[in-house]
Amino acid sequence: MGKFQRIFVTFTIILLVCCCFRSESTSVANDRGAWISYDERALTIKGERKIIISGSIHYPRSTAEMWPSLIQKAKEGGLNAIETYVFWNVHEPVRRQYDFTGNLDLVKFIKTIQDAGLYAILRIGPYVCAEWNYGGFPVWLHNLSKDMAFRTTNKIFMQEMETFTTKIVDMMKKENLFAPDGGPIILSQIENEFGNVEGDYGSDGWPYVQAVAEFADSLDTGVPWIMCQQDNALYPIVSTVNGFYGDQWHPPRDSIPKIWTESWSGWYQKWGEPSPHRPAEDLAFATARFFQLRGTLQNYYMYHGGTNFGRTSGGPYIITSYDYDAPLNEYGLPNQPKWGHLKQLHEVLRSVEKLLTYGDFVDKPYHGRGDLYMSTEFSHNGSRVCFFGNSDSGKAVTIDFEGQQITVPAWSVSIYRDCKTEIFNTARVNVTREVLERVRHQGPLKWTWRAEPIEAIKGQSDTFAPHFLEQKSATNDTSDYLWFMTSVDADEDDGCDPLTGHEVTLNVRTNGQVLHAFLNKKHIGSQWSPNGFTSFDLKGVGKIKPGLNTISLLSGTVGLPNYGSHFDTASMYGVSGPVTLTTYNGDNLDLSNGHWSYKVGMSGIDERKLFSDKERRGWKENPKLNKPLVWYKNWFLHVREVELYGNQQYLLDNYQ
């Protein structure tokens, strides 16, 4: 029997509601100790070819307190390496002002990997994609110069990129974290998936690939540099692949190993879309097939997805959860059967490491369809292992191997020790399936509320601009919100009734993401772009009165773009114009060229930080419903009983 432990966790929920809806072989060696090399078969560590089974865990997407537990569970799941990106924009939110504290403590994270006895793969970028806000680039970088051009040999971009990358490398060197210095880092990555978009950069593309490769090589880390999705990378850079399946990819040079930097364990989720799911059987099939066809280094993206804390979600419209249907779920608990099924596969693969990396191999097609049915035999020093692959998703296949009738289920790989005894099949899951149950909180929740002030133009003291400001430049990524404010004078001579006013229609054109409109501080409309990239029109109806009437437009972003060619130059105007006011008699008043005032941020979140545990003053009971721009907050105590079995107690560390 186990024992029971009761865990108490206090949560804070805070919501803002606005009305109705947000040919060579290389050896990298030096006199610093260990050495790393590679050839066409594998990465070599301390003179031995190794199978590397890695998993992505992004340190900013979990808490520092979770890291030991996550890494330990990854190790128990059969991994021998952990991979992470480095996220430039959170480490340097303001130019030359760095932050490596808390869950941004990269050195601590790498040392935690080392303490667990695992290798580390460091993907410095500086571009990461990763469904991370702005692809990991700081917005201030875009605003440094009107001539700025990311991911080109633009002088200012290269200077800033090199400064940050050098800083990261120097930090790792100072702490002796590269393998030649006795640390766990066996690979570093420069750039990321640039090959997917290189053609869109024209004549600027290839020179950039060369420039970043030469720069990376000059940093003398003592470990190989990789570029994923960059098949034209030249020596000494190692090209790698990303995708749902990596078996059919072949290294562009004969002398480098087959490395799969991103084996997608699931997918990310957007607001309003169902949770993605990739079956454990399919992921195991992709893994086994990769190793069958001479892959020897694979990284699951993600192994633990975690959470997009704060404003780190990329976009548009990527949710705060980054669960990714990964082997470890968002909370750090095993996602069964995926975690357990892969664990069994990893144990089998690790047990035949010598055969896979040193053995002779023979591929044999069956039934005239090598693309569907094939066996691969590895032999070394009198030992053998066989992989029998069936890529037909519709039916099982029986093949005759050395007189033995072997039936392989549809879309699966069977592994046979000594080519005689089956020890694993990817389609046969022998792990208990578990479903994470979401249950309603027991008992009523006592919500409190407080209003967010609706900003309006105040007079000559405001900062004006004769045109619409581009939101990304105006906010400099300090907030997701920007107020656009102006005013209109009306008088009785124009037919404006002094008692009732008269009805007008406000029309706003924008290429932003979300927009709320207020006339005289009354909400008159909200609209959003269906995909976050296309322009849209907002139409709102309200009343003006004689005298000064204020128009306030609140523009919001839900994750800046993180992928695509030239995504950094995509304009993000909360209001692009025209802005017109249609009066009761059909006249159109164009407000586009009037005086507009701007305010960055929202008081409740950017100034008062109402989400903070310390901010408990000023909250009112009896929530106001159907009132625009209201913050709602609730405190509740979560009690959970969990049965503990021996060394499984670590599974609960995340909750304490």
Tokens 């990465």, residue located: 43
List active site positions. 193, 262
Q: Across-strand partners of 416? A: 386, 422
How far apart (Å, rounded) are the C-alpha atoms in residues 324 and 59? 15
DSSP for 240-308? EEEES--TT---SSTTS-EEEEEEESS---BTTSPPP---HHHHHHHHHHHHHTTEEEEEEEEEE--B-
What 8-state DSSP symbol labels residue 561?
B
What 8-state DSSP symbol labels residue 394?
S
Burial, 403: exposed, middle or buried (Cβ in 10 Å; 0-12, 13-18, 19+)? Answer: exposed
| CA-wise closest residue to 43 among 85, 84, 86, 80 | 80
Q: 620: which 2 tokens?
A: 């009112």
Look at residue 17 and give its three-state secondary structure: strand
Residue 121 near residue 109, CB atoms below 8 Å? no
Q: Going by DSSP bridges, is the β-strand pair 481-490/48-50 parallel, antiparallel, or unpaired?
A: unpaired
How far apart (Å, rounded) are the C-alpha atoms in residues 515 and 506? 13
How far apart (Å, rounded) are the C-alpha atoms in residues 563 and 133? 10
Q: 108: which 2 tokens?
A: 């601590």
Burial, 404: exposed, middle or buried (Cβ in 10 Å; 0-12, 13-18, 19+)? Answer: exposed
- Cα 144 to Cα 91, 99, 135, 517, 538: the distances in Å are 17, 20, 17, 31, 32
| CA-wise closest residue to 386 among 350, 411, 362, 412 | 362
User: At a CB cut-off of 8 Å and minimum separation 6, what does 274 contact?
Assistant: none
Burial, 400: exposed, middle or buried (Cβ in 10 Å; 0-12, 13-18, 19+)? Answer: exposed
Q: 43: which 2 tokens?
A: 């990465």
User: At a CB cut-off of 8 Å and minimum separation 6, what does 22 contact?
Assistant: 271, 514, 556, 558
How far apart (Å, rounded) are the C-alpha atoms in residues 188 and 167? 14
**Helix 280-292 vs helix 338-351: angle between axes, to the nearest 10 degrees?**
20
Longest dimension (CA), the chain: 102
How far apart (Å, rounded) are the C-alpha atoms in residues 574 and 535? 10
Report the amino acid identity of residue 234.
L
| CA-wise closest residue to 151 among 166, 129, 121, 122 | 129
How far apart (Å, rounded) are the C-alpha atoms in residues 246 and 352? 20
Report the amino acid identity of residue 479.
S
How far apart (Å, rounded) are the C-alpha atoms in residues 548 and 486? 10
How far apart (Å, rounded) are the C-alpha atoms in residues 415 and 426? 9
What's the CA angle centered on 591, arms 589 and 595, to 5 degrees? 140
Q: 386: which 2 tokens?
A: 């066989």
